[in-house]
A and B are shown apart, each in its own frame.
Chain A
Amino acid sequence: MRLRHLIVSVLLPLAAGGCAGSQSALDPQGPNAASLAWLIGAFTIVCGIVWLLVMIVVGVALLRRRGAAEPADTPLAEDPGRERRKGAVVLAAVLATVVIVTGLTVISYLATHSLTAASGEPLVVRLRGYQWWWEVTYTSPSPDRFVTSANEIRVPVGRPVRLELSAADVIHSFWVPSLAGKQDLIPGRDNQLTFTAERPGIYRAQCAEFCGVQHARMALVVVALPPDEFAAWLDGQLRDAATPANEEEAAGREVASGKACAACHTIRGTPAAGTLGPDLTHVASRQTIAAGTLPTTRGSLAAWIADPQGVKPGNKMPMVPLSADELRAVSAYMASLK
């Protein structure tokens, strides 16, 4: 596919990646996104040529009779023979349109087919959209190996991943442009999306359907890992939360399970077992917090806990009054939950 490479190399400069991971349809990192990028390129070239041709003809039409015409000039008489010949040209142009449009329909149909055909036993991951975060559940043949996480999907490289999409409240849309096209998460309906990551890397994804006041801050990252690394990581996720390594972290655990935090969040291995917000058992192992809003550092964790409504106004996490010591302790504890 020489043409494919050509198109991709033309489009690539437009797709600069950010440090949060690439989020661009023009920077494909998996077969789905690659064939979509190819399709975008093909359509762009065909449509571009057609547009250029039309513009050239308009330009020529204007230039060939350029003169100092005035509104008052007598209307031109039509020459029937000439009009007939022009009719034939117009008809030819219409036929050409039909041919082009049919051709584009066919390649689009073929692309649809290639997208739905996936090979290999997929990893099934349940993705549930909430206002304004994502719940990620890794399924397994044995129910005790289900792992719940949030705002980050880790996938093994080379293996197809089937996302089972559902929504808890309003419509959301999952879109990771570097790997696949988007698919909506709709209350009362179940959707699926299958994709494969070809290279290890971090790919940013974002909610693409307007879902309320914090639609803009509903992102997540897809992290593609080599299969063995993925398996090791998944085993790690099955474990309970890390035990505090020092006094400060232990104090933080007390705050997290005694204050309002525990009402909404689960930290496995502690009394905190709320199910309204993201699971925090391994929160520090994730790239971002608050659905892609801040990078996971102790400082940003503290900032987020101290003033969630200042960082992401309107989100469902309340501002829980904490003393400075409590805040320091709880953020230290959170940062330790690798």
Chain B
Amino acid sequence: MKRRAALVMAVAMLVGCQREQRDLRLDPPVAAALDQVAPTANGIGGAPPDVYVALGGPYESNAYNLGEGKRLYTWFNCKGCHADGGGASGPALMDGWWRYGADPVSLFVSLRDGRPNGMPAYRDKLTTEQIWQLVGYVQTIGMASATTAAPSRNDEMQSRPAENRAPAAADLPTPPSR
């Protein structure tokens, strides 16, 4: 009984810590290792770096990293082309139906190296850690259901349903009421 309680507690600790911990300073060697993705030949999908797996995919489930990703999405004007995920001159992100797939490595490569037809490379504008944070956030935009770690609405004029109302695509033309 006691051991089982301890086990539950330990699992809760791991989950809680991973979801909420804030690693404010990423060690430079780790950051460098995070850059070592191995995309497939066609640039869609691929193997994440070993260190990414070893860290437990912190950019997909950690609330702080997702929040930072959302900030970068605004700061680096992803809105300019993708709008709030609804799509404009760039493709929509909210529908989760993406040209190069939803795989994190694929997204990382898209952001870092750019893609044909207008997606610029952010290699020299963002650090590896920031690109990963954006990858994590962009994935939540296209999700079928919100994760509990996903960021919520911003303090600004609302042009899209909040992230925690996923699947957001279905709600895109906001109905007047429920």
Contacts and interface: CB of A to CB of B under 8 A. Distances in A.
A and B interact physically: yes
Contacts of B31: 319, 321
A288 B31 CA distance: 29
B77 to A, nearest CB: 10
A263 B127 contact: no
Interface in A274-323: 276, 307, 309-310, 313-314, 316, 318-321
Nearest to B126: A260
A313 B31 CA distance: 16
A319 B32 CA distance: 11
Nearest to A309: B25
B103 interface: no
Interface string B98-138: 00000000000000000000000000111101100000000
Contacts of B155: 187
Interface residues of A, number: 19
Contacts of A314: 22, 24
A260 B75 CA distance: 13
A213 interface: yes
Given A187-B155, A313-B24, A321 B127 contact: yes
Contacts of A262: 125
B26 interface: yes
B25 A310 contact: yes
Interface string B37-55: 0000000000000000000
B76 interface: yes
B173 interface: no
B28 A321 contact: yes
Given A187-B155, A263-B76, A313-B24, A318 B124 contact: no
Nearest to B71: A316
A128 B157 CA distance: 20
Contacts of A199: none
B59 to A, nearest CB: 14
Contact of B32 (A187, A260, A310, A321): A321
Contacts of A309: 24-26
Given A187-B155, A259-B124, A260-B126, A319 B75 contact: no
Contacts of B129: 318-319
Contacts of B125: 260, 262-263
A319 B127 contact: yes
Interface string A187-224: 10000000000000000000000000100000000000
Nearest to A315: B24
A116 B77 CA distance: 42
Interface string B154-166: 0100000000000
A326 to B, nearest CB: 13
A319 B26 contact: yes
B160 to A, nearest CB: 20
B76 A320 contact: no
A307 B127 CA distance: 13
A103 interface: no
A307 B31 CA distance: 13
Given A213-B24, A319-B25, A319-B26, 13 more contacts: A187-B155, A213-B22, A259-B124, A260-B124, A260-B125, A262-B125, A264-B75, A307-B25, A309-B24, A309-B25, A314-B22, A319-B127, A321-B28
26 contacts: A213-B22, A213-B24, A260-B124, A260-B127, A262-B125, A263-B124, A264-B75, A276-B75, A309-B25, A310-B25, A313-B25, A314-B22, A314-B24, A316-B71, A318-B126, A318-B127, A318-B129, A318-B130, A319-B28, A319-B31, A319-B127, A319-B129, A321-B28, A321-B31, A321-B32, A321-B127
Q: Please name the 10 residue pairs, one residue from A and one from B, whose CB atoms are nearest each other, closest first.
A: A309-B25, A313-B24, A263-B125, A314-B24, A318-B127, A276-B75, A260-B125, A309-B24, A313-B25, A318-B130
